[in-house]
Amino acid sequence: MKTASKHDLENVEGEELQRLEKYLRPTSVGMVRLTPGEWLYPGGFRYSVDKIYNFPWRNHDVVLMGLPKTGTTWMQEILWTMRNNPNLDHADGNLPILTRVPIIE
């Protein structure tokens, strides 16, 4: 499959998938490879790759990237508070972080 970014997206199958399962935990929808670059993603990535590429970024957006279990949610809270609620009186301050901060996964 050709993506909007002109990369190729292909399913990882057979012996290669079995070999990778020793090191990675594939999802129920398998794994895909984005080339060039040989990036491996969970199979569900095929449904969102073009949406991510075409995401309407704004000049004031901040991107936070982190690996699982490295404090990403805590960092989202800190960044949102610094940008939107420095006096701790914002009306949305008590909403859950996942409501205030969009996530692209």
pLDDT in tens, the chain (105 residues): 999 999 999 999 999 988 888 888 767 788 999 999 889 988 889 999 999 899 999 998 999 988 878 999 999 999 999 999 999 999 999 999 999 998 876
| Residue boundaries of the structural domains of the chain | 8-53, 57-105
For the CA atoms of the chain, what is the radius of gyration?
Answer: 18
Report if pTM > 0.85.
Answer: no
C-alpha 85/C-alpha 91 separation (Å) is 9
Amino acid residing at 18: Q
pLDDT tens track for 37-67: 889 988 889 999 999 899 999 998 999 988 8
